[in-house]
Amino acid sequence: MMDENKAPNGQGVDNTQGDQPNHQTMEALLENESFSVELPQVGEIRKGMIASIGANQILISVGAKSEGVVAGRELEQLTAEERAELQVGQEVNVFVLNPEDQNGNVVLSFKRAQEEMSWENVEKMIADETVIDTKIIGFNKGGLIAAVGNLRGFVPSSQVSASRRAQSSGDTPEQRWQKMVGQPISVRIIEVDRERRRLILSERNTNNETRASVKDRVISELEEGKTYTGRVTSLADFGAFVNLNGADGLVHLSELSWDHITHPKEILEVGQEVQVKVINVDRDKKRIGLSIRALQDDPWKSRIEKFSIGQLVEGTITRLTKFGAFARLESDIEGLIHISELSENRVEHPKEVLKEGEVKTLRVIRIDTDQHRIGLSLRKVDSAAFADKDFKMLTQEFKEEPEEEQTQEVVEDKPQENQE
């Protein structure tokens, strides 16, 4: 058991300062230590130092309270050459599989770290239009397989160069492609889908006939705000690349559609012809920013037309946060009630005033069309400043009631005449 007068690092703690007691408790010491140690998280890639190498496990210091361990199946996946290269004191990248197993160990992986870093690398390559010199390592019925770092990329037969296709003949994949295994090949990445571990390559798109000079010319001719016709050349998690007269521009995921999408493949495919608007041209970095949604009507603007500043609305409370509450006015329209708009009295947290799921009458106090935001207020529902507007709204609602209903009300209020 740890001596209460010992700090976690084993050094003594002086509990006196002159004649005054030092009030730093063991809880405070432990709390201070926990703040100084950044605990590993699942899926995180960390740099670590190899502490020891054993027959059944490798211990790695990753800055946690205990050393991480590479063992079991993960250790078996390392080749004899890879294990021979590892040395005590060597700095390595590791992937956190489990921040704490049943024995309190941080479980780490070399292979997953290499794989994740490779995916990050190919995402950068597709953005930079990098041409990769590699070799063919296999094939299937649809085309060739090439190595890209630690990953395997697929070159569909439609993306194999014309000269290489001319060499392929036969009825089976073996007859067409087998003789090409081991041959060098230059490819560009045209699609990255990290979630599905899908990496699509093209040999045809590596025609380097002065790509740089072509791009320079196109960039000099492009005008921001203008619309152009282009063709989709590649897809990635973060967006789609569209070729405009020989230069690729990026349509970021957020610029693909007004609807929420998680990957460009949901609405686009490589080779598709599309209309795009140029929203940014960085001539120094040679980057072209494009938008597809800028050419579409913003559905939010039509949905928001029925709302006006000062209007009273009914909203269902959907989320409570420390800075306010969100209320759903319609199925696809949400507004924010800032914490300062909840009550005339000071509120520390929205839960003091609201509950998720309850329906409240709220007042619209701000509409930001460009940012798609509506500001709402609970405390201004009964505000005298809006009395005039409320009266006009009630009057308008009365005028808009069907004529038959108003006539019926008059008939019901009129006393019946004596029919004698």
380 backbone dihedrals φ, ψ, rounded to 5°: -95, 10
**Which 8-state DSSP code applies to residue 212?**
H
- Buried/exposed 58-96: b ≥16 CB within 10 Å, e otherwise: bbbebbbeebbbbeeebbeebeeeeeeeeeeeeebebbb
Sorting pLDDT into bands at 50, 70 and 90, what band is 400?
A: low
Distance, in Å, from the CA atom of 104 to the CA atom of 379, rounded to the nearest integer, reads 51
| Other residues' Cβ atoms within 10 Å of the Cβ of residue 258 | 15
> Residue 158: phi, psi to the nearest 5?
-70, -20
Quote the CA–CA distance of 397 and 412 in Å, as a whole number. 21
- 287-291 and 106-109 strand pairing: unpaired
Q: Give first-to-last CA distance, the chain, whole Å.
A: 107
- What integer pLDDT is reported at residue 256 of this predicted model? 94
Distance between CA atoms of residues 86 and 314, nearest Å? 65
Please name the amino acid found at residue 396: Q
Provide the pLDDT for residue 137.
94
Q: Please count the other Cβ atoms lying within 10 Å of the Cβ belonging to residue 345.
A: 8
φ and ψ of 406, to 5 deg: -65, -40
Is 300-397 in CATH node 2.40.50.140?
A: yes
What is the structure's pLDDT at 339?
A: 92
Q: Classify domain 129-206 at the CATH topology level.
A: OB fold (Dihydrolipoamide Acetyltransferase, E2P) (2.40.50)
Q: What is the bridge-based pairing of β-strands 184-193 and 239-244? A: unpaired
Q: Span 369-398, mean pLDDT?
A: 75
Instruction: Classify 72 as helix, strand or coil.
Output: helix
CATH superfamily label, 211-295 = Nucleic acid-binding proteins (2.40.50.140)
pLDDT at 306: 83
Residue 271, phi-psi category: left (phi > 0), alpha (psi -120 to 50), beta (remainder): left
pTM (predicted TM-score): 0.47
Tell me the three state secondary structure of residue 35: helix
pLDDT of residue 22: 45
Going by C-alpha positions, the residue among 194, 58, 43 that lies closest to residue 113 is 43
pLDDT in tens, 265-286: 999 998 899 999 999 998 888 8
What does the domain layout of the chain look like in residue ranges?
45-112, 129-206, 211-295, 300-397
Tokens standing for 205? 């798109």
* Distances 87 to 51, 60, 267, 274 between C-alpha atoms, Å: 9, 11, 49, 53
Whose tokens are 């597709």? That residue is 126
45-112: what CATH class?
Answer: mainly beta
Tens digits of residue pLDDT in 84-110? 888 888 888 888 888 877 777 888 888
Question: Do 300-397 and 211-295 have the same topology in CATH?
Answer: yes
> Which residues are 290's β-sheet partners?
251, 278
Reading the block at residue 235, the tokens are 């897809």
Asked if pLDDT for residue 403 goes beyond 80, the answer is no
User: Is pLDDT of 117 > 90?
Assistant: no
